[in-house]
Amino acid sequence: MSTWRRTNYRGREVDLRPGVGLAAWLTASAAVTGRGRQRAGGAAAVGLAALVGLVDDQFGSASAKGLKGHLDQLRHGRVTTGSLKIAGLTLGALVAATGESQKVPAAGRARWVATLAANTVLMAGLANLINLLDLRPGRALKAAVLPAGAALAGDGRQLAVSTLTGIAAALPGDLAERAMLGDCGAGALGASVGVAAMRSWPTWLKLPAVAGLVGLTLASEKVSFSAVIDRTDWLRRLDQVGRAP
- DSSP string spanning 92-113? HHHHHHHHH--SPPSS-HHHHH
pLDDT reported for residue 111 = 82
Does some domain include residue 25? yes
Does some domain include residue 126? yes
pLDDT band per the 50, 70, 90 thresholds, residue 138? very high
Number of domains in the chain: 1
C-alpha span between 196 and 209 (Å, rounded): 14
pLDDT band per the 50, 70, 90 thresholds, residue 228? very high
pLDDT band per the 50, 70, 90 thresholds, residue 222? confident
Is the pLDDT at 23 greater than 90? The verdict is yes
pLDDT band per the 50, 70, 90 thresholds, residue 18? very high
Query: Residue 60 to residues 8, 29, 40, 129, 131: CA-CA distances in angstroms?
Result: 16, 27, 28, 18, 14
Lowest mean pLDDT segment, chosen from 55-59, 91-95, 166-170, 184-188:
55-59
C-alpha span between 206 and 229 (Å, rounded): 25
Q: Residue 220 in contact with residue 82, Cβ under 8 Å?
A: no
Q: Which amino acid is at 45?
A: A
Percent of the chain with pLDDT over 90: 66
Percent of the chain with pLDDT over 70: 87
Does some domain include residue 8? no
What pTM does this model have?
0.91
Does some domain include residue 1? no
CA 148, 190, 11, 224 dihedral sign is negative
Does some domain include residue 26? yes
Does some domain include residue 24? yes
pLDDT band per the 50, 70, 90 thresholds, residue 243? confident
pLDDT reported for residue 22 = 97
pLDDT band per the 50, 70, 90 thresholds, residue 77? low
Q: Residue 177 in contact with residue 137, Cβ under 8 Å?
A: yes
Does some domain include residue 199? yes
Does some domain include residue 245? no
Whose CA is closest to 42, among 188, 235, 201? 188
pLDDT band per the 50, 70, 90 thresholds, residue 207? very high
Its domain, for residue 77, covers 13-240
